Structure 1
């Protein structure tokens, strides 16, 4: 979404006319609330309350002077001189965000959920949820010439607020658990992978290099418009064919894109597979694709995605397979192998892939997870919780033609849960990135790998991978990423080398049923790929699941204890 906002700003959405419209739009909301602006902030503990006037913060931000009110808070917090200096800088540092688009996002169901969660920590004086005043202050501040700053935000609050420090301290503990858990996950997967590597004597330098294109070449992709009249749903599919066909049956793979993405974003993956003799179909999911996200930013849509996508996405896959069966008889003389199809899904596409692979939706588990106070630390949970608004959500979308699944950074844990994932009986490879803020590995892949009961299951962890390919981002967001101190990311080329190799190996073994590719599905091969790299990749199979579970068990208990302390 940040990427889209930056692109929209470049197209001229951030205009004087838009700002004027925004001010008029929110004037009625401001009038409806108390007319005096916030004069003070209460910092609230369980047994203490300390008030700091907003004017104290303004003076500190502009001059560095600390009056007695602010000094009392700094003393209570035990702030160091360095922390005070960073706080002063943070008060004045602007965030470049388009006010109109921010308002559109905050008016979506997901935006409201975010505000509701923030409103638990920053509430109206007296304890009421602060979501309404936060929303107004954020948008009004973003519309002003100096942009959105903490000080500007405080100045635009229509009433006094209180910051609930006990809850924030619990949040800090939870964040630390997430960080510690991610570190433990990385260390344990690395240990298990290296132990397995010691037992493998394969000389991979003597084998074909799966990082390179295959021997079959690639035709120019075709785009076909499909119309599922049963669902009144029109969407397109991009087809990638090998230039030279394999002898015998041609294996087929479907690729499902993620939220606010599009089929073209997976062209590199599709071409690489096609060069190894695969027929690849990449359908559009119109209720959750890039076009829908742009419609939201332009005011043509009211939600981040159409909640019916939980149903439509898996049905899109089955419809494409039905269509390919008809096309196979007419145009390909039956050469496509459509009884054993592989699927690769990224993010929301990971949900899609697991759904058609047999994972069943567990609404009881989803309701429980969506009640979690700290659930928003897992960004993908905001998406998954929207499924609860569907009155008649089917729980099973299994398509028996799907016989192997790769789910990269999948949205999956809460909507399927342990019970739902246990229904997947076909080979599964989960891909995970340790820098992924959208589907954090410790939430969305670690537990899922342990819960899967498939006899053939794999977990691939890529250090530094951050959910999306940053090479596709515009200059604005790239500049913002580069400005983050000490943040280093792996190159897209390195991530492609890991991903392309694993995808080809997995589908060759489980779709083409070629045992010659089995050595590539090993810890030793990913160790080989990682040689002389700053960011490593690791693979473990089901033999490491039990040890990983034991290592993560104390962390799970800490989460349980922290949750019990909150009740």
Structure 2
């Protein structure tokens, strides 16, 4: 590489690298909607303020609540939780990203959260809500002046994994559910759709794609088989896909494996030995009520806290490579 190219690469690195913060700040916001109640959004961001422990659902985080943000032109990561979850299900991953210089905005999906399951099978609602969150964060939120609109990533788990793939350009074909559920009626997705058919107004809804999404992490993506090869061709952003080898909720090869098999572009595919479905969620720090014990139960031999140290580092590394490091000098995957 010539001296001029080396100097240019050094300049790009200096201007593109987000601030490595001492800590993570945290706040909850309300994203307004014109004809519906506001959307609950948890936001993590870099700060130099001193943190303190804070419980969040069944897990905990060490953050500086309401502290000032540091840095500018920061990359944005939007997060989409799984069926019946809420914005805080991946708080430790969000905290790790914030400490690495990202702003993370995680929504509680309207109609598909732990309080309200009225639209749990209205799958087109989800990418539309994620795209609306991106627009609000960049254009209207209290942090809009601190964000770089050209560096946006999306992280999703389970139904959220499906969400980020669709939002990034994937075109699912939900008619594939019929044959799938004839073969696997006991799978969670089939039992959910049998007990809660999709609302009539969602059946003709169009899939919302957001070209602002420049990198995608999908952990244990639900309904992966609905995309097929043709349905994944619209995804041009780099993708990291995670599979739990012992996934008891989305078992077999119809989900993460189907995405891996049908996504013909190079991508980062990782299978976690001995992991169950909910091991991608933040480790529990409190004893859950009996009806939620499954969220915290890892297989014998898997240390969820240790796994999350590796998982969070890999997610942070992927988004850093794709959204921060200059493409001509970034390490390849």
Task: Flag the 1:483–1:266 CA change in 2: closer, same or farther, 3 A.
Answer: closer
Task: Flag the 1:305–1:408 CA change in 2: closer, same or farther, 3 A.
Answer: farther
User: Structure 1 residue 236 and structure 2 residue 34: aligned?
Assistant: no
Instruction: Provide the rounded CA distance (Å) in 2 between the counterparts of 1:464 and 1:409.
Output: 14
For residues 327-365 of structure 1, the C-alpha deviation after alignment (integer angstroms, 9 at most, x for no partner) is 36x7553x4112331000011111111110111121332
2:22 to 199, 217, 221: 217
Which residue in the other structure is 1:461 paired with?
271
Would the aligned equivalents of 1:433 and 1:441 in 2 still touch at CA under 8 Å? no
Q: TM-score scaled to structure 2, two decimals?
A: 0.76
Kindly state the Cα deviation for residue 427 of structure 1 after the two structures are TM-superposed. 1.0
Which residue in the other structure is 1:270 paired with?
94
1:326 to 139, 161, 166: 139
Instruction: Provide the rounded CA distance (Å) in 2 between the counterparts of 1:480 and 1:339.
Output: 39
Instruction: Provide the rounded CA distance (Å) in 2 between the counterparts of 1:312 and 1:255.
Output: 15
- What SS does the corresponding residue of 2:140 show, helix, strand or coil? helix
User: Structure 1 residue 258 and structure 2 residue 82: aligned?
Assistant: yes
Count of aligned pairs = 288
Task: Flag the 1:462–1:326 CA change in 2: closer, same or farther, 3 A.
Answer: same
Which of the two has greater helix per residue? 1
Would the aligned equivalents of 2:219 and 2:242 in 1 still touch at CA under 8 Å? yes
Instruction: Provide the rounded CA distance (Å) in 2 between the counterparts of 1:265 and 1:482.
Output: 11
Would the aligned equivalents of 1:361 and 1:395 in 2 still touch at CA under 8 Å? no
Instruction: Provide the rounded CA distance (Å) in 2 between the counterparts of 1:428 and 1:436.
Output: 20
Would the aligned equivalents of 1:218 and 1:240 in 2 still touch at CA under 8 Å? no
For residues 392-415 of structure 1, the C-alpha deviation after alignment (integer angstroms, 9 at most, x for no partner) is 333421111111111101102243
Q: Matches of residues 389-408 of structure 1 in structure 2 within 5 Å?
A: 390=200, 392-408=203-219
Which of the two has greater strand per residue? 2
Instruction: Provide the rounded CA distance (Å) in 1 between the counterparts of 2:295 and 2:266.
Output: 37
Task: Flag the 1:226–1:308 CA change in 2: closer, same or farther, 3 A.
Answer: farther
Kindly state the Cα deviation for residue 311 of structure 1 after the two structures are TM-superposed. 2.6
Kindly state the Cα deviation for residue 448 of structure 1 after the two structures are TM-superposed. 1.4
Would the aligned equivalents of 2:77 and 2:153 in 1 still touch at CA under 8 Å? yes
Task: Flag the 1:514–1:477 CA change in 2: closer, same or farther, 3 A.
Answer: farther
Task: Flag the 1:340–1:380 CA change in 2: closer, same or farther, 3 A.
Answer: same
Task: Flag the 1:384–1:407 CA change in 2: closer, same or farther, 3 A.
Answer: farther
Which residue in the other structure is 1:501 paired with?
313
For residues 190-223 of structure 1, the C-alpha deviation after alignment (integer angstroms, 9 at most, x for no partner) is xxxxxxxxxxxxxxxxxxxxxxxx9413343111
Unaligned runs of 5+ in 2: 1-18, 49-68
Kindly state the Cα deviation for residue 376 of structure 1 after the two structures are TM-superposed. 2.3
Q: Give the root-mean-square deviation of aligned CA atoms.
A: 3.1
Unaligned runs of 5+ in 1: 1-213, 293-303, 522-567
Kindly state the Cα deviation for residue 479 of structure 1 after the two structures are TM-superposed. 8.3
1:488 to 297, 300, 307: 300
2:251 to 440, 449, 471: 440
Would the aligned equivalents of 1:430 and 1:459 in 2 still touch at CA under 8 Å? yes
User: Structure 1 residue 376 and structure 2 residue 189: aligned?
Assistant: no
Which residue in the other structure is 2:323 paired with?
511
Which residue in the other structure is 2:263 paired with?
452
Kindly state the Cα deviation for residue 254 of structure 1 after the two structures are TM-superposed. 0.5
Task: Flag the 1:480–1:222 CA change in 2: closer, same or farther, 3 A.
Answer: closer
Task: Flag the 1:448–1:514 CA change in 2: closer, same or farther, 3 A.
Answer: same
Which residue in the other structure is 1:474 paired with?
288
Task: Flag the 1:488–1:510 CA change in 2: closer, same or farther, 3 A.
Answer: same
Would the aligned equivalents of 1:251 and 1:278 in 2 still touch at CA under 8 Å? yes
For residues 470-519 of structure 1, the C-alpha deviation after alignment (integer angstroms, 9 at most, x for no partner) is 635527479899999xx514111122022111111111111223466636
- What SS does the corresponding residue of 1:488 show, helix, strand or coil? coil
Instruction: Provide the rounded CA distance (Å) in 1 between the counterparts of 2:140 and 2:153.
Output: 18
Would the aligned equivalents of 1:240 and 1:281 in 2 still touch at CA under 8 Å? yes
Task: Flag the 1:450–1:438 CA change in 2: closer, same or farther, 3 A.
Answer: same
Would the aligned equivalents of 1:269 and 1:500 in 2 still touch at CA under 8 Å? yes
Instruction: Provide the rounded CA distance (Å) in 2 between the counterparts of 1:345 and 1:226.
Output: 19
- What SS does the corresponding residue of 2:320 show, helix, strand or coil? helix
Instruction: Provide the rounded CA distance (Å) in 1 between the counterparts of 2:296 and 2:38.
Output: 40
Which residue in the other structure is 1:315 paired with?
128
Would the aligned equivalents of 1:434 and 1:466 in 2 still touch at CA under 8 Å? yes
Instruction: Provide the rounded CA distance (Å) in 2 between the counterparts of 1:514 and 1:332.
Output: 23
Which residue in the other structure is 2:59 paired with?
none
Which residue in the other structure is 2:54 paired with?
none
Would the aligned equivalents of 1:508 and 1:514 in 2 still touch at CA under 8 Å? no
Instruction: Provide the rounded CA distance (Å) in 1 between the counterparts of 2:284 and 2:296.
Output: 12
